[in-house]
Amino acid sequence: MNTNYNRILNYTVLVLVSIGIVFIYSSSSVYAYKRFDNPEYFLFKHLLYVGIGLVAMVILSRTDYSVFKRHPYLIISICILLVLMVYIPKIGVIKNGARRWINLGFITFQPSEILKYGFVIYISYLISKSQEKISSFKGGFLPGLFVMMIVAVILLKQPDFGTTVLLLFTFLSLYFIAGTRLSYIFGLVIAAIPAVYYIIMRSPYKRARIMAFLDPEVHKDTIGYQIYESLISLGSGGLFGQGLGMSKQKLLYLPAAHTDFILSIIGEETGFAGVTVLMVFFLIFIIAGFRIALRARDLFGMYLGSAITIMFAYQVLINTAVVMSLIPTKGLTLPFISYGGSSIIFSLAGVGILNNIYLNSNNAVEDADALKTDLGVMVDRMARKGKV
């Protein structure tokens, strides 16, 4: 059985983006009407971003990814510079108390979205280059850790806690897959705990988010408002939802209903069934992404493909967990679904890179093995044995 994972990946992305378009329209029309007198305001803007994203995806599909391998230092440097540009007056834009955007005159975007890719490109390069020394601290773990630290400091300064956590998890996961010593990973996690505690306690708004998370209902009128309304949205959806377009919470109750909290509206309108289906699509995407990564032409491709997939997986998990009040608010979008130019364009660009990794892989060599090591099959077996 020769499964074309790339096709599965692309179809899944198509489905996800379509779901996103439908729910952005559903969740933003009231807000858009109130604010811009035009219910389609966000819909049209999002369609434009999707268009740009698809163009980026096609271009990157046709661009040999080894171009990234050749210039890793240049790429990471440019990315860091772009992120630092948020501190340049008139170019850096402050929204909701965070310096995360830069305005280049013709476009405003979040440079941290580019930094994500620059970072995983660099780490993938680093690991694939030093694969033999991966178990050593100095030669294997430390160079990656060094860049990780720089990136973390820059991002936390903005502040962008969500992206920092996302990149840290991706970083650790890549090193785990590459086979570094577990002691490094756990050591870093343990070392990070006091730092995280310090960062949270120093910032009133982060502390507030934690409080809100611990008891949304008590703080429902103030700091817990968003998360409480999110639970109400989700919960009132029930098993099959209230029907498409029937969400009441989008009547401005739920702030950021079309961005970070779009899943709440999806849950309200399509219920448990709808959200579960959506999660299955994401799972399919992740499995397909891993399959592509495993068949990559070289180690760099394998790590890069894995990194991109892992990043998507974490972002989905973090966003979903936030919406369900499993973890405190992070400010991360739901990939392919949420409204937001930077988010959708760079997500589609990431898919483009995965496409190219697939196109450059040697299918004939790997397909024989594929059946046995098919992740899906493995997961199925595990499930049958009652391990999941």
Partner 1 sequence: MLKDKIVTESEIRNFYRISYLIFAFIIVAVFSIIIIRLYKIQVRMGEYYYDRAEKNFIQEVRLSPLRGRILDTKGRVIAQNRPSFNLFLTPAFVKNYRKTLESIDRLIGIPEERFNDIISEIKKKRGLERFKPIKILSDLNFDQVAIIESNIEELSGTEILMDSYRDYPLGELASHIVGYVGEIDKKMLSDRNKNQEIYKQGDIIGKRGIELSYEDYLRGEEGKEFILVDAKGFKVDSSEVKDFLKEKIKKFPPRQGADVYLTIDLDYQMELEKMFNVLDGGLIAINPVTGKIYALISRPSFSPAKLSQRISRTDWNNLINDPLKPLINKVTQDHYPPGSTFKIVPALAALDKRLITENTTSFCNGVFQFGTRPFRCWAKRGHGNLALHRAIVQSCDVYFYRLGDRLDIDNIYNYARMLGFGQKTGLEIDEETPGIIPNRDYYKKNKKFGSYHKGYAINSSIGQGDVAVTLIQLAYAYATLANGGKHIKPIIVDEIRDRENKVILKNEPEVINELNTDKGIIEAIVDGLYGVTSEPGGTATFQKYKVFGNDKRIKIAGKTGTAQVVEMRDGKNISESYMHKDHAWFVAFADVDNPEILVAVLHKHGGHGASGASPYVFNAIKLFYEKYKGMEFDKNINMRNVSFIESED
Which CB sits closer to partner 1, 137 or 253?
253
Going by the DSSP 8-state scheme, the letter that residue 250 receives in this structure is: T
329 scored as a contact of partner 1 (CB under 8 A): no
Closest separation in Å from C-beta 63 to partner 1? 22
Query: Using N-to-C axis directions, what is the helix angle for 225-237 and 262-294, rounded to 10°?
Result: 80
Q: Please, which residue, 90 or 387, has the CB nearer to partner 1? A: 387
Nearest approach, Cβ of residue 145 and partner 1 (Å): 19
Spatial contact of 258 and 291, defined as CB atoms under 8 Å apart? no
Interface with partner 1 includes 317 (CB under 8 A)?
yes
Two structure tokens written together for 93: 């834009």
Query: In this chain, which of 38, 77, 131, 183 binds partner 1, going by CB under 8 A?
Result: 131
Estimate the crossing angle of helix 299-323 against helix 262-294, to 10 degrees.
Answer: 160
Q: Which of 84, 176, 363, 370 binds partner 1 (CB under 8 A)?
A: 176
The answer to whether residues 237 and 271 touch, using CB atoms and an 8 Å cutoff, is yes
Instruction: Give the separation between CA 261 and CA 263, rounded to whole angstroms.
Output: 5
Per CB under 8 A, the list member of 27, 315, 320, 347 interacting with partner 1 is 320
Quote the least distance from Cβ 232 to partner 1, whole Å.
Answer: 5
Shortest distance in whole angstroms from residue 295 CB to partner 1: 9
41 counts as binding partner 1 under rule CB under 8 A = no
What distance lies between CA 149 and its chain's CA centroid?
20
Tell me the closest approach of the beta carbon of residue 197 to partner 1, in angstroms. 23
> Cα 265 vs. chain centroid, distance in angstroms?
19
> Can you read off the two tokens belonging to residue 258?
């079309």
CA within 13 Å, CB half, 282? 24
Q: What token pair was written down for 119?
A: 């970072």
d(CA 146, CA 130): 15
- Pick the binder of partner 1 from 16, 287, 351, 353 (CB under 8 A): 287
- The answer to whether 241 and 271 have CB atoms below 8 angstroms apart is yes
User: Smaller CB distance to partner 1: residue 137 or 272?
Assistant: 272
Helical pair 111-129 and 72-84, crossing angle rounded to 10 deg: 150
Cβ-contact 190, 179 below 8 angstroms: no
Q: How far is the CB of 271 from partner 1 (least distance, A)?
A: 6
Q: Report the residue number, 77 or 373, with the smaller CB distance to partner 1.
A: 373
Which residue of 267, 331, 340, 350 would you call a contact of partner 1, by CB under 8 A? 267
Is there binding between residue 271 and partner 1 (CB under 8 A)? yes
Question: Could you tell me the sign of the dihedral formed by the alpha carbons of 145, 101, 315, 119, in that order?
Answer: negative
The answer to whether 294 contacts partner 1 (rule: CB under 8 A) is yes
Residue 354 CB, shortest distance to partner 1, in Å, is 16
Residue numbers 350-379 binding partner 1 by CB under 8 A: 365, 373, 375, 378-379
Indicate whether 178 belongs to the interface with partner 1 (CB under 8 A): yes
CA 69, CA 47: separation in Å to the nearest integer?
A: 32
> Which two structure tokens, joined as six digits, stand for 97?
């108390």
Cis peptide before 159 (omega within 30 of 0): yes
Per-residue x/- mask for partner 1, residues 230 to 259, rule CB under 8 A?
-xxxxxxxxx-----xx-xx-xxxx-----
Return residues touching partner 1 (CB under 8 A). 30, 34, 131, 173, 176-179, 221-222, 225, 229, 231-239, 245-246, 248-249, 251-254, 267-268, 271-272, 275-276, 279, 282-283, 286-287, 290, 294, 298-299, 302, 306, 310, 313, 317, 320-321, 324, 326, 365, 373, 375, 378-379, 382, 387-388
